[in-house]
Structure formats: C-alpha cells, structure tokens
Amino acid sequence: MSDALFPLSNEHKMIRDAARDFAKNEIAPIAAQFDESGEFPYETIKKMGEMGFMGIEVPEQYGGAGMDTLSYVLALEEICKVDASHGVIMSVNNSLYCHGIMKFGTEEQKQKFLKPVASGKAIGAYSLTEPMSGSDAGTMKSRAVRDGDFYVLNGRKSWVTSGPIADYIVVFTMTDPAKKQKGISAFLMDTKNAPGFVRGKKEPKLGIRASATSEIIFENCRVPAANRLGEEGDGFKIAMTVLDAGRIGIGSQALGIAEAAYEASVAYAREREAFGQKIGEFQGTGFKIADMKTRIEAARLLIYNAAAAKERSKATGERYTLQSSMAKLFASETAMFCAHAAVQIHGGMGYSKELPVERFFRDAKITEIYEGTSEIQRHVISRAELGLK
C-alpha cells in the first residue's frame, strides 16, 4: 500500500538497499555483543559515515549525501531493523544536529560545525534536557552569560545521546531567565576546544545500550559568541523546530524495530510447533500477526507522510509539527506493541538472549520516551486540533 502512495525512485531503492546490506553484513554480526557490553560501535559508525548515512539530507557542499527526507527515513528504518543503537546515533547526528545547523546556521558555522559531522568524520549531539527539565523543556536552569566575545556557561544537562563521545554538541541554555522560553539561546560547542566542558556520568540503560548517553556539565565554560546559533532568545524555537525533524527519525527507528519484531515472529510462527501444529495456525498467534502487520503499515504511511511534509517544508518553510508528532506517536507505540507480541509468540525463547527479540523489546521502549514522550505528542496534537495554541 505504501508503494502506491509513496512510489520509490531508483535513488530511494539504492539507498534503502545499501543500508539493508550494510546492516545485514556489518551490524547484525556485532549487535548483540555491543548491546551486552555497552561499548560504542566506533568502527561501524565510521563506515556509516563513509557511506553517507550520517548526513543524508545535507547538501554535498557541506559534506552530506544531498538526498531527500524519504531517503533518510528509508535508510534509518533499515539500520534500525537490525540495531536501534546504531539507529539512534545516526538519527541524532542527522536530524537533531545537522538539520538545526542547515536551517539556522551561518555559512561560517556550516563550514566549521556541519561539514565534519555530515561527512561522518565527527559525531554530533543535541543537548536540551536537564535533570529537572525534561518534558517541560522551557524551564531549564543552566545559564549563559555574555562576557565580551564569549559566553560563559554554567549548569548541568542530562540524557545527551552520544554525550560521552560527541565532537560537537548543540546546547540550549538560558541567556535571560526572566523571559522564560524566550530567554533561551542555542550554542554550537566544539567539545575539544571548550575549557570548562565536562562529560558527566554515562547512563546505564535498559535498551539502545550500544549508544552512549550521559550528562554534560559546564563549569565556567567559555564559548565564542560567534558559535551562537540564531539570535539570543531564539533557542526554544530552534529546539522545537529541530525536534519536529528528530521525531521523524525516531518514528523511523520505531518502524524498523517493529518490522524486525514482526519478521522474527512470522518466521517463528511458521516453524514452531505445539499441540501437533504450527503455532501460526492458532488464531491467538495469527491475530497477533495480523495486528502487527496492520499497525506497521499504518505507521509506515504516517512516517512517509511526515517525511513528505518535511520535504515540502524545505521550499515553503511550513511547519510539519503535527505530521511529525502523529508519526512518532503511532510508530513508537507500534514498536512497543510488536515487540511485546513478538516476545509472547516466542515464549521462553523471546525472553532469552539467544535471540534478538528480547533486545527489540528493550529497545522499543525508549521510542515512547525520548524526543518527546507519547504524552507530549498527544499534548501537541490535541492542543493543535482543539485550537488551544
């Protein structure tokens, strides 16, 4: 059905197939081991950069692959079908980091901060959340105070994907607390040249364990004023605009996890026997398969629809907040539904680390939490529909 509504060009098929082959040949053999150890998969991420996967929508002049949003979504979905940890590193690099600089950066900032990350030679991260400011992102406590040609940053940020290893981070912090959201500004930070920048504790996580997540701390950290992204006070809108793009990435990640759980379940239901027949022949299993397939197809349509809206927005500047929130909400709940059903269909084997199904289950959960919880997506959608904002 999605083929008819969103026909793929040869270029789309090429990047999808390249990502599929890469995931199968390079990521699948190591995914379980890196999940277990929690190590960062430097080698495979480097190769993904060489293949153009780390800056898919960034024009070639800035180190990217110069492709469209659907290409990005297709590639990310394939990577996440095999491993959601590689997927979130790719998603944050592409949408939360590169997209913001593409949209709001000066030419000089693009040359310095975008090129190395879009080309995969360096890793980018995004830092909005703080220990006491998650869903209510406008209430952050960290401060940046202007001091001549610099800003001096103090405070603590949390849950930074790729925080322990990122070369560059886009950081959101208060420049004028009295103005609340309108007092937030965004800064591009070169972590190797930022005295007073400290990486905090690495989070021990339930899932996406091969992606590294940490706090970052600023102790009188000096950032050149030239590294401010946008104007003073633009930070909250930049953060939200970038999350609109990010949520399409996380939706694609969720879609990939859902498909992986589904494919494993179909294969198992065709093979495994109980009470003298294949378990797929029991209606209890068959109906789960039907619901998984239907939800996956609906999630795919919402994700591709959001990708198309984002693509249009490049010319029109129109917001695609609703499409992105609906896609992320539905796809992440589909991932959880499918992973849950997959464990149940596999029975004891679904609970065992011998198969990847338990990893899909652990990885699926985060898609309902990060880049805006399901509750926040419902809040965004309902407020818009009710005309409350």
- Residue nearer to ligand CAA on the CB measure, 253 or 265: 253
Instruction: Output the smallest distance, CB 240 to ligand CAA, in A.
Output: 3
Instruction: Output the smallest distance, CB 365 to ligand CAA, in A.
Output: 13
- The single-letter code of the amino acid at 346 is H
- Residue nearer to ligand CAA on the CB measure, 285 or 313: 313
At residue 228, what are phi and psi to the nearest 5 degrees?
A: -75, 130
Residue 346 contacts residue 361 (beta carbons within 8 Å)? no
Instruction: Output the smallest distance, CB 11 to ligand CAA, in A.
Output: 28
Instruction: Output the smallest distance, CB 158 to ligand CAA, in A.
Output: 9
Three-class secondary structure of residue 197 per DSSP:
strand
Instruction: Output the smallest distance, CB 208 to ligand CAA, in A.
Output: 10
Residue 245 contacts residue 95 (beta carbons within 8 Å)? yes
Residue 378, classified by CB atoms within 10 Å of its CB into exposed (0-12), middle (13-18) or buried (19+), is middle
- Residue nearer to ligand CAA on the CB measure, 161 or 332: 161
Cα separation of 133 and 118, whole Å?
29
Query: Which residue, chain included where needed, has tokens 């949408």?
Result: 95
Residues 6+ apart with CB under 8 A from 23: 78, 79, 81, 82, 83, 86
- Residue nearer to ligand CAA on the CB measure, 138 or 224: 138
- Residue nearer to ligand CAA on the CB measure, 123 or 342: 123
Residues 6+ apart with CB under 8 A from 283: none
Longest Cα pair distance anywhere in the chain, in angstroms?
79
371 is catalytic: yes
Residues that bind ligand CAA in the complex, under the rule CB under 6 A: 92, 126, 128-129, 135, 137-138, 159-161, 181, 236-237, 240-241, 243-244, 319, 321, 370-372, 376, 379-380, 389
Instruction: Output the smallest distance, CB 65 to ligand CAA, in A.
Output: 22
In the chain, alpha helices (H): 2-5, 10-22, 28-37, 42-50, 69-82, 84-91, 99-104, 107-109, 115-118, 235-271, 283-316, 321-346, 357-366, 374-385
- Residue nearer to ligand CAA on the CB measure, 302 or 343: 302
Q: Which of 232, 311, 371, 375 is catalytic?
A: 371
Instruction: Output the smallest distance, CB 345 to ligand CAA, in A.
Output: 30
- Residue nearer to ligand CAA on the CB measure, 304 or 370: 370
Q: Which of 162, 54, 68 is nearest to 114 (CA)?
A: 54
Going by the DSSP 8-state scheme, the letter that residue 129 receives in this structure is -
Cα separation of 202 and 360, whole Å?
22
What is the number of other CB atoms lying within 10 angstroms of the CB of residue 136?
9
Going by the DSSP 8-state scheme, the letter that residue 95 receives in this structure is I
Catalytically active residues, by annotation: 371
